[in-house]
Structure 1
Amino acid sequence: MTQINETPRRRTTAGRRPVGKVLPGDARRHHRALILQQLVDDGARSRADLARETSLTRVTISDLVSELMDEGFLVELGTRPGTHMGKPATLVGISEEAPVAIALDLSADGVLSGAVVDLGGLILVREQVAFSRGDDIAAIAALAQHLRDATPRRILGVGIGTPGIVDTHGTVVIAPNLGWDNLDLAAQLSAALGLPVHAGNDSNVAAVAESAFGAGDDQGMLLLMIGSGVGGGVMIDGRALAGPLQSSGEIGHVVVDPDGRQCACGNRGCLETFLSAPALKQLDNDDARRDVGLKLATVLTPVVTTLGIADVVLYGPAELLEGALLDSVRGAFAQQTLPFVAQRVQVRLVPMRDELVLTGAAALVRYRELGVV
């Protein structure tokens, strides 16, 4: 658009969706997603319930429910209990044998974790193998194939949570801790396995998992993942932020001490050099832990205040984060932002045992393949 009294500027449209007709196949996929979303969120419903709750016609609901039953996603569960006038309603729900996702987690130092995860985020099978900087796609494909062989259920796709900046096509643009640069991770793994593969930043998929399966407030949540490195995932208005650079959440590489230790990214004194699990293990007193908590709060406060975030989640080893460090973060928030904001922001801890990267990688598959968030 040309602005009055200003030199016209070319506006970038690279991130826009093309404008065009909604194809019948798109509408059908959307309607299928509505039905599955309703059943995932609220449990078994009758066809009449689904028609009312989705605003789709009963004919459309009947057709799509039959289709989803034929594909193994849904099953009839009998009639609704209780006394009703007329013919009892037959309930449908997610089948216990519905297709599953293979989830892979590259976030831990020296370890590759994998799991078979159902549509509700339940881990059915879990495996772990050694994985070091420099290992190639073959090692990842081998674990995925092992998990594939471990379940008789149909595989919907493969999801991967990896450190680094990951674009929308599943290419790892840069991952300093793994030594990867422009690695076409999703495409190479898909070719090796013959399955759809979706990759995302590990912190982002962990944030999605805490929103989809945990207690996360997806209207405004910042999840900080603390492991071999430090990364962040941001949920605003029900969506994970990525940004045009796909670097949203790379908070671990904000410099907090220019004279600090060398970071894997090439800078000195990044937050990651103080807050990563290996760095925290070296701290031997509460004063040092409080100092790290203050550094963390100084980085987080402007993000939380600017975006209006109410839920701050520290996802990492509880034994390293509880106590002085967590108390310091909470206290610093109270001093560094408006009282109105400080009184409404919760800072909480989610331990690593919750496996958020694995369940988040499965949620990524669920969304990309089925449209269910």
Structure 2
Amino acid sequence: MSGLLSKIFGRPYSAVMPTPSGVHALVRRTHEERVLRALREGGAMRRGEIADVVGLSRSTLSEITGSLLHRGAIVVVDTDAGRRVGSGRPAERLALDPGSAQYMGVDFGHRRVHVVVADASHEILLSGSTPYDNDLPWSARIETAFTLIDQLSGAARVHFGALQGIGIGVPGPYPTPPTAGPRPAVGSLGHPEAVGVDAAFVHRFGAAAIVDNNTRLAALAEAISGDQATEDLLYLRLGDGVGGGLVVGGRLVTGSNGLAGEFGHVTVRPAGRQCRCGKHGCLETVASVPAVLAACRAGGAALHSLDDLRSAVRRPHPVVDAVLRDAATAVGAVLGSSAMTLNPARIVIGGEITTIAPVIVRQAAVTIAGQLFPSGVAGPPVRAAGLAEDAGAVGALAAVFHNSPLLAGYPEADAADPRRLTPGGTADGRAQ
């Protein structure tokens, strides 16, 4: 969803010029929306941090936040008094009113669904997951998710009366809708039957829903998590399949029909095994978990699960080590070529197998370095994913934060007297 600035500046032109007080009100509302957007997307922040993000002077920001605090749109969540060194007034951290909204992130993996629910201040209210069979029909997967949500909300006594948005991740390419007409087909890679998953959640919860590829959403989660968030990221996840995501300028890149970041279907062995996409020798046929386990078995190592692989890695096994390094080299070749084109700030490789076998990330980093310019300029750091297997759900949640309304449900200040509020609407009493 586009920002509310377009709603302000996109109004039809009027021959009647706004009065000075009207201009002041317009500018003030714009500043408020920028502050609320920063808090919605970034969570709790100090005033100085907000000022840096929105580009307002400290005095203007103090006036804006004072009004928003008075109206209940934002609250003080804590101060740094317990951590502060030296004298001076403790710095308050401000956030959207936690009770004003709830947001849900759902990740339908190949074999498991993850759910995360947060409030408007980004505090996690509940989270959990439940497994299902890889061949379970989508109608049953959705019902499994609903059952999980009911169980989690019942145990935590969380009700969804303030649910504002739902982000949903699904496996494989998810087609982005054109400006008109049906979604384009994505062939055997995606899940055409999952196209209606958003409608099922809208019907169940009565809140807006967005859907995207779960690995792409995991890329967004990795880009914004931790103390070193980045706006430019290459992300690849090794699991039952191999997927990826691109974050450029702080936004997900989907491509013209939703196929951006499909690193798993880049050809690395032209004469290799046939992939489920129909081509031969895709990265997925070499570096996915099933492909790695199959290659180990072909070499004489009886591995049938990630637990078996964990045991084999603990007691060095020459066949297993060779297979892992071969898969990692293929991963590095694909990511290295992409890095040479896109020049990312960071490369992240995810999936449980990277935790079990760190050699994958190390070997991939060596290969990536060999693909880049042989100059004194350091290439992007390559690291294992910092988030757990619920990264797709967290990313879905992040996508909702970046697509939800800014001011839904908050009263506006009277244009003549900023301290006077009208219930449930604008200064002249119109409902929002």
Residues 128 and 341 of structure 1, relative CA distance in 2, 3 Å threshold: farther
Which residue of structure 2 lines up, in the alignment, with residue 313 of structure 1? Answer: 348
Offset at residue 260 of structure 1 (A): 2.5
Residue 54 of structure 1: aligned partner: 56
SS in 2 for 1:368: coil
1:22 aligned partner, one-letter code = G
Other-structure match for 1:240? 252
Counterpart position of 1:140: 145
Q: Secondary structure at the match of 1:343?
A: coil
Amino acid in the other structure paired with 1:197 = A
Shift of the 267–295 alpha-carbon distance from structure 1 to 2, 3 Å rule, reads same
Percent identity between the two aligned chains: 24
In 1, the alpha carbon distance for the partners of 2:186 and 2:214 equals 13
How many angstroms apart in 2 are the aligned matches of 1:300 and 1:162?
Answer: 23
Distance 1:115 1:343, change over 3 A: same
Query: How far apart in 2 are the matches of 1:315 and 1:359?
Result: 14
- Please state whether the residue corresponding to 1:340 is helix, strand or coil: coil
Alignment match, 1:276: 288
Question: Relative to 1, partners in 2 of residues 1:160 and 1:272: Cα closer, same or farther, differing over 3 Å?
Answer: same
8 Å contact kept, 1:76–1:90: no
Equivalent AA in structure 1 for residue 138 of structure 2 = D
Partner of 1:264: helix, strand, or coil? coil
Residue 424 of structure 2 aligns with which residue? Answer: none
CA distance in 1, matches of 2:371, 2:52: 48
- Which one of 262, 267, 283 corresponds to residue 255 of structure 1? 267
Match of 1:105 in 2: 107
Verify the 8 A CA contact 1:165 1:175 in the aligned structure 2. no
Structure 2 equivalent of residue 159 of structure 1: 167
Contact 1:257 1:269 (C-alpha < 8 Å) held by counterparts: yes
Output one character per residue of 1:216-272: Cα deviation in whole Å (capped at 9) or x when no partner: 653321011111211111112222212222211011111222332332222222111
Which deviates more from structure 2 when the two are superposed, residues 149-158 or residues 235-244?
149-158
SS at match of 1:203: helix
Q: Which residue of 2 aligns with 1:227?
A: 239
2:247 maps to a residue whose letter is: M
Do the aligned partners of 1:210 and 1:216 also contact (CA within 8 Å) in 2? no
Q: The residue matched to 2:370 in structure 1 has which SS?
A: helix
Give me the TM-score of the superposition, normalised by structure 1: 0.76
1:161–1:205 Cα contact (<8 Å) kept: yes
Structure 1 window deviating more from structure 2 (234-243 vs 141-150): it is 141-150
- What is the aligned partner in structure 1 of residue 212 from structure 2? 200
Q: 2:358 aligns with which of 291, 306, 322?
A: 322
User: Which blocks of at least 5 consecutive residues in structure 2 are unaligned?
Assistant: 1-5, 12-24, 297-318, 408-432
Q: Do 1:100 and 1:118's aligned partners in 2 also have CA atoms closer than 8 Å?
A: yes
Shift of 1:305: 0.6
C-alpha displacement at 1:102, in angstroms? 1.8
Give the partner amino acid of 2:365. R
Q: Report the Cα offset of residue 182 of structure 1.
A: 7.0
Say if 2:38 and 2:54, in contact at 8 Å, map to a contact too.
no
Cα distance change on mapping 1:198 and 1:143 into 2, 3 Å? farther
Letter matched to residue 45 of structure 2: G
Question: Which structure has the highest strand share of the two?
Answer: 1
Mapping of 1:81-92 within 5 angstroms? 91=92
Structure 1 CA distance, aligned partners of 2:224 and 2:264? Answer: 24
What corresponds to 1:364 in structure 2?
A: 399
State the structure with more CA Rg. Answer: 2
| TM-superposed deviation, 1:291 | 1.5
Structure 1 residue 349: Cα displacement: 0.7
TM-score (norm 2): 0.67
Take 2:273 and 2:27, find their aligned partners in 1: how far apart are those partners?
A: 51
Segment drifting more, 163-172 vs 124-133? 163-172
Find the counterpart in structure 1 of residue 94 from structure 2: 93
SS of alignment partner, residue 375 of structure 2: helix
Q: Which residue of 2 aligns with 1:125?
A: 126
Relative to structure 1, the CA distance from residue 370 to residue 356 in structure 2 (aligned partners, 3 Å threshold; closer, same or farther) is farther
Q: State how many pairs are aligned.
A: 348
Contact 1:99 1:118 in 2 (8 A): yes
Q: Distance in 2 between matches of 1:200 and 1:177?
A: 14
Q: Given residue 342 of structure 2, which amino acid in structure 1 is its aligned partner? A: L
Counterpart of 1:343?
378
Counterpart Cα distance in 2 of 1:79 and 1:350:
30
Residue 115 of structure 2 corresponds to which residue in structure 1? 114
> Quick check: 88-97 or 294-303, which moved more?
88-97
Q: CA deviation at 1:118?
A: 4.1
**Letter in structure 2 aligned against 1:166:** Y
1:332 maps to 2:367: yes
Quote how far apart the aligned CAs of 1:126 are: 2.2
